C-alpha cells in the first residue's frame, strides 16, 4: 500500500508542479528543480501515509480475528471426537 501511495502522489505532485511553473512563466531550470523536489517530498509523504494505512488495516483485521476467536464457544473440538468418546 505504501508503494501505491508513493507511486501516485509523487508523480501527481511533479505534474502539478510542472504545469504550475510553466503556466506561471517560470524558467525551465527552476520549474524542473521544483518539480523534482516535489516528486521526492510527496513520494516520501505518500509512502508514509501508505505504510500507516497498511498498519491500521492490519491491526484492525488482527483485532477482529482475535475477537472472533475469543468469542467461540469452548465445546468439544469436533463432533467426531465427542461421538468416539461416548
* pLDDT grade for 82, boundaries at 50, 70 and 90: low
Supply 8's cell numbers: 501516485
Q: Which helix (H) or strand (E) holds 53?
A: helix 28-70
In percent, the amount of the chain with pLDDT more than 90 equals 60
Please provide the distance, in angstroms rounded to a whole number, between the alpha carbons at the two ends of the chain: 52
- The pLDDT mean for the chain works out to 86
Among residues of the chain, what percentage have pLDDT more than 70? 86
What pLDDT, on the 0 to 100 scale, is given for residue 74?
76
Kindly report, residue by residue over 32-72, the tens digit of the pLDDT. 999 999 999 999 999 999 999 999 999 999 999 988 888 88
Amino acid at each position: 500500500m505504501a508503494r501505491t501511495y508513493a507511486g501516485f502522489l509523487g508523480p501527481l505532485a511533479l505534474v502539478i508542479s510542472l504545469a504550475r511553473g510553466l503556466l506561471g512563466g517560470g524558467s525551465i531550470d527552476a520549474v524542473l528543480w521544483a518539480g523534482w523536489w516535489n516528486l521526492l517530498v510527496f513520494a516520501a509523504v505518500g509512502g508514509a501515509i501508505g505504510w500507516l494505512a497498511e498498519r491500521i488495516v492490519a491491526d484492525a483485521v488482527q483485532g477482529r480475528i482475535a475477537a472472533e476467536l475469543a468469542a467461540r464457544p469452548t465445546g468439544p473440538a469436533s463432533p467426531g471426537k465427542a461421538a468416539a468418546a461416548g
